[in-house]
Every structure is written in structure tokens, then in C-alpha cells.
Amino acid sequence: MTTQETIELFEKYVIGNYPRLPRVIVKGEGSYMFDADGNKVLDMFPGWAVSGIGHCHPKVVEAIRNQAGRLLHIDNTLYSEPQGKLAKLLSERAFGGKSFFCNSGAEANEAALKLARLHTPQQKYKFITAEGSFHGRTFATMTATAQPKHHEGLLPLLPGFVYVPFNDVVAMEAAFTDEVAAVMIEPIQGEGGINIPDKEYLQKIRRLCDENKALLIFDEVTTGVGRTGKWFAYQHFDVVPDIMTMAKALGGGMAIGAMMAKDEVAASLVPGKHATTFGGNALACAAAVAVIEAIEEEKLLQNAAEVGRYAKEKLELLKQKHSIIDHVRSVGLMIGVQLTGPGSEIVDKCLDNGLRINCTQGTVLRFMPPMIVTKEQIEEAVDILDNVLTEQAK
Ligand SMILES: *Cc1c(COP(=O)(O)O)cnc(C)c1O
């Protein structure tokens, strides 16, 4: 099929709820993707950070092939080996909790919100979330997402949500009442623009939650599974949550989400209270096990930290040449370039020149390279951006 033929199928048969770039991707390999017209693109935003260790990582592909020949899915009224194995690997790399598996980030956050209500006394029904957050598109997670643009046309929202400015200790303290069941927050905001809070902020929230017998939920759907150079972003802040959610990079390209909770909290999720048909299926869990093993065998946490620092340095150098760059915010391979003007045209031009990045909040260029990325590939990306910005300024 030609690119045009595929696009015509979409126009006729696929609901148009996504603004799509006019490219048909037919193959992915490591840090690169290839389109139907034979173009090679350096992918610094692979599948919105889902292909966190690169497209079609060989160990993940092999694990999927092996598992696919044995068992794809068995329902959760029986046991399967990959789900148990994955839960153990995650627990050992986090805070020793237990996991519930689902199929997406929004589902993981839904589970977290339900668990918080189930675990706390009935009068505690409120959730505090931060402005600029992104927690998903279901009704509860959309309500948790404290950005009016995501609510337009969808009112009324779910009751019980309280919004506070991000990284504002005073506002957080003021929002607490004895009706608060939990705070849900991203340790580093992604879609909100790569916003990194002060360590003291997250530590203060932890104390407030303890004093008010509320739970702390970290949404690590983007930050989790290594992107920041540690398994989970909370490990940079010395703050342990009661509940943590993850999804994007977990399956290496397979759809999977997880909610992990401390043992005593997890105990409140008893049979009949929550479930999902596909969650924790053998195929997705086998892929996730392979992701974790590959990260360890190939020392990808170290690579994310080291190449992340290098990327930040290189992007900061561009600032001297291009006044549109204000500053760079990053932790590991979660990188935001704050511009003084709009970024979406820059993203389009980068793609025309063989580089995929993203723009969020209008003026933040987002780089979320795969954890296998090399310094040479960062140089390649920065060169393309450099040329695009030079052209743009003419
Ligand atoms: C992507 C994302 C979600 C939603 O995940 P889906 O898989 O799209 O439902 C939730 N929280 C954060 C922080 C995310 O980045």
C-alpha cells in the first residue's frame, strides 16, 4: 500500500480523534523508525515513550515469540507464570509492594483511585491533584488531570477532586482536610512540560499525607521503568509513595499497566472490588519481564543517566546560538526544551529532516529518547534541531 492509500483508509474508516502527521510507519528498529516511502527517522519520542528501550528490542521480540507459541492469555481466575514473575521483579526494584496489572496508564490510575477510596474511611473521598498534571482520559483520570482544556465539553466531572498549583507547599497544605483520601501526583510532570519539583515539596506531601492519614499516589506512567536513570523517579526524591502506577515503557511496546501498593494498602483490594479481563495477560507480562531483564543486562539505567546528561549539555549549547531557546529541564532521558515561542512548527520541520520529537504546552520541545540511545544519536538529533532553528530564524 502507498502512503496515500493508507491515509485514505483512515479518513474513511478510523475516527479522526488524533491529529496525525502524514507518515505511515512500517518498521521500527532501536532508535529509528522507517516509513512506507523508505525514509529513516531518528525517533526521540518512540511511541510516546512506550518503546522505552527502543523499537523492537531483540530480547523483547524473542520473549514475545516464545510466549506466543505457548499461551497468549488466561483469565485472572487462574494463575500464569509471567504475571507472578513480573510482580516479583517490580516489587524488588521498587518499595517491596504488590502489583495489580491492567492495560494502560489510565487504567492503572483508575485502580489507584479506587484502592485509595477502599482503603480509607468512608468520609475520606477527596483527591488532591496538581495543576498541569496528566493522569489519563477516563472520567476519573480526566477529572484528576487538572487542566481545563482536557475537560471542555465533558462536564460535569466526577465529584471530589481538588486542584492545587504544582510545587507549591503552602497551597498543598491548605488543601488538606480530613476528607482527603489521597494525593495523586507525577513526581515529574510530563505532558505538563517536564516540570521538576523541589525535593522538599514531595517530602512535605509525604508528611502531610501521614499526618492526615491520607495516601500518597505517584503516577509514574511516564517516569517509571528507567526513563529518569533510576527504576522509578521517586527514587531521586527519597520519598516512598503508598501506591505507584506505571505503564508506557513497561511492556517494551506491548499494552500493559500496573498499579503497585504497599502490602497493607494492597490488602484492601479484595475479590469483587476491581478487575480487568485482559490485565496481566501472559503475553504482555512476558514482554515486560524481558524489558526489565534487558535494562539490567545492558546497564540501561546508567546509559539513561549518562546520555541524558550529555543531551542536556548539547541542548544547552544550542541556547547560545538560538534565542528562541530559553532553558532546558531534564532528569535522565526526560528532557524538555523551554522555548520563548511556539514549538509545533519546529517539530514538523524536524520530522521533515528525519528527527521525531514532540511539543507540549505549546512551547516545550520534548525529547524522550529510548534508553538504548547513544551519544552519537544525540549529536545527530541536536544537529538536525540546530539546522531547523537556523532555517526558522531566516
Ligand atoms: C500517558 C500517561 C497517562 C495515561 O496513560 P494511557 O496509557 O494513555 O491511558 C497517565 N499518566 C501519565 C503521567 C502519562 O504520561
Atom of ligand 1 nearest to the CA of 191: 15
User: What pLDDT digit, counting tens, does each position of 151-210 carry?
Assistant: 999 999 999 999 999 999 999 999 999 999 999 999 999 999 999 999 999 999 999 999
Q: How far apart are CA 305 and CA 30, in angstroms?
A: 18
CA of 53 to the centre of ligand 1 (A): 18
Atom of ligand 1 nearest to the CA of 220: 13
Cβ 136 under 6 angstroms from ligand 1: yes
Q: Which residue segments constitute the domains of the chain, with CATH numbers given?
A: 3-53+299-393 (3.90.1150.10), 58-297 (3.40.640.10)
CA of 66 to the centre of ligand 1 (A): 29
| Overall average pLDDT of the 251-255 stretch | 98
Catalytic residues: 134, 219, 248
User: What pLDDT digit, counting tens, does each position of 119-134 carry?
Assistant: 999 999 999 999 999 9
Burial class for 386, CB neighbours closer than 10 Å (0-12, 13-18, 19+)? middle
Residue linked to cell 483508575 = 110
CA of 136 to the centre of ligand 1 (A): 5
Angle between helices 282-297 and 300-321 (to 10 degrees): 70
pLDDT above 90 (res 393)? no
pLDDT at 145: 98
pTM of the model: 0.98
| Overall average pLDDT of the 353-364 stretch | 98
CB 305 within 8 A of CB 332: yes
